[in-house]
Amino acid sequence: PHYLRFSDPQADEEIPILLENKKVITPFEKLVEGFSYPRSDEVDPSAAIAPFFFLGYGMALGDAGYGLVLSVICLVLMAKVPMGSSGRKMAWLFFISGLGTIFFGLLSSSIFGYSFYPGLFNVVEQPQLLLVISLGFGLVQLYVGTMISGWISIKNGDAAEAIWGKGVWLLFLTGLLLIAGGSQIGLGAYATQIKYGTLAVAILLVIGNGRGQKGIWAKIKAIPGGLMTIYGSIGFFSDVLSYSRLMALGLSGAVMGSIINLFVEMTWGAPIGWVFSICIFLFGHALNFGLNLLGAYVHCSRLQYLEFFNTFFTGGGRPFTPLKLENINIFLKKEREV
């Protein structure tokens, strides 16, 4: 005889997690699994990671030729090499990352280190612009992460935290940004109003820190915590600065590609120089591709784990592992009968 009992989970019980996403998002589950499964009171961050990893990886690898090679290699591996579900997820992740690299490489007109048409910008000649793009990219991602954190608070029934802890916090950060760079976007005439507005928001942050405390004395004791919240803006902008590594990776790869092509051109005119040129081109770009492929993955993953997840995701959940038949790849080799 068998006995089955169904019961609702208790409030303090950790529910096992099964990640379910649309097909285009599924490969990015590998990044989440590499960090930690979400808890039952959190959201699956796979969809939030997807556009930022796609663009960030493209910016870090930065060459349309390299992106094409990466995507083609992944397609060939998936077609020819037997893989489990985990391996196919990783292959699809790199395939999509290759598409992001093609996209960014075409924008900057970088194809195996050559520029065949005027791009929107030149990575080697305009590194300052690439730095601004990288920092702006990081700022947008961290803002999105903070908004997701506010949405999670509302979902869990804590609207006050969403408003005071996240909404007012974003207003304060925006005020600091406008104080620092408002004149660059035509807001110099409103500098005084922006400063006083940011000060008012800072006061709201300090006051809001004691919103859950009862009694005047308890609220006064919460003021130092509010001041530390303001001090936390330094940590936020230091996280934004971490995104400068995207510029560094993209610039280093572009410079190395240009140097390789320079050696190719120098040896081409010599007797049988075309042989050396082809060898230099193939070996040099293969080496540059391999190094930057690994560096882009490591550093883009790091930005998701340490900077982006820090705004809304803790993890610590356990995966759902039901009883099932587990298939493994078995290869049968038919030997010729003697």
Helix (H) or strand (E) holding 86: helix 85-107
The answer on pLDDT for 212 being more than 70 is no
Place of tokens 């397609």: 75
Mean pLDDT, the chain, as a whole number? 89
Band (pLDDT 50/70/90 cuts) for residue 113 is: very high
Angle at 39 between CA 38 and CA 42, to 5 degrees: 80
CA 268 to chain centre: 41
Q: How many helices (H) and strands (E) does the chain have?
A: 13, 0
- Predicted pLDDT at 98: 96
Report field, pTM of the whole predicted structure over 0.75:
yes
Asked whether 292 and 254 are in contact (CB, 8 A), the reply is: no
Which token pair is 199?
Answer: 């000060």
The Cα–Cα gap between 10 and 20 comes to 23
- Predicted pLDDT at 8: 79
Alpha carbon distances (Å) from 247 to 65, 140, 199, 275? 18, 16, 33, 34
- Mean pLDDT (whole number) for 196-203: 91
> pLDDT tens digits, residue range 291-319?
999 999 999 999 999 999 999 999 888 88
The answer on pLDDT for 328 being more than 80 is no
The answer on pLDDT for 124 being more than 60 is yes
The Cα–Cα gap between 149 and 161 comes to 9
Give the phi and the psi of residue 114 in degrees, each rounded to 5.
-100, 150
